[in-house]
Amino acid sequence: MVQFKVKVSRLEINVEQVGHGQHVILCLPGALGFIDHDFGPLASLFDHEKFTVVMWDPPGFGKSRPPDRDFRKGAEYFSRDATWAFELMRVTKQ
């Protein structure tokens, strides 16, 4: 499995994608998580013929730094993550 960078909203997002199936799964890390820590053995459990598994380090976590994570505006970072995740899926599905 190989990690690579994807440009999303002027940010470089670290991504790992396995499988090539029709059903796409986006794995979101837990609090302070990142690909290597949260998803290591998980991706190999899916049928790679049926599923495409996309794992990411949200901006500010893991290998998606800089920038550092910005928590200054309260829970607004959830909305930013959702927007970036949506854009990531549009970019990686092409």
Q: What is the pLDDT of residue 94?
A: 54
pTM comes to 0.86
CATH class of the structural domain 3-92 = alpha beta
Side-chain half-sphere CA neighbours of 20 within 13 A: 1
Those residues whose C-beta lies under 8 Å from the C-beta of residue 4, and which sit 6 or more positions away, are 14, 15, 16
Task: Give the mean pLDDT of the chain.
Answer: 88
Q: What is the pLDDT of residue 24?
A: 92
In the predicted model, residues of the chain with pLDDT beneath 70 are 93-94
CA distances (Å), 86 to each of 69, 76, 79, 82, in order? 18, 16, 11, 6
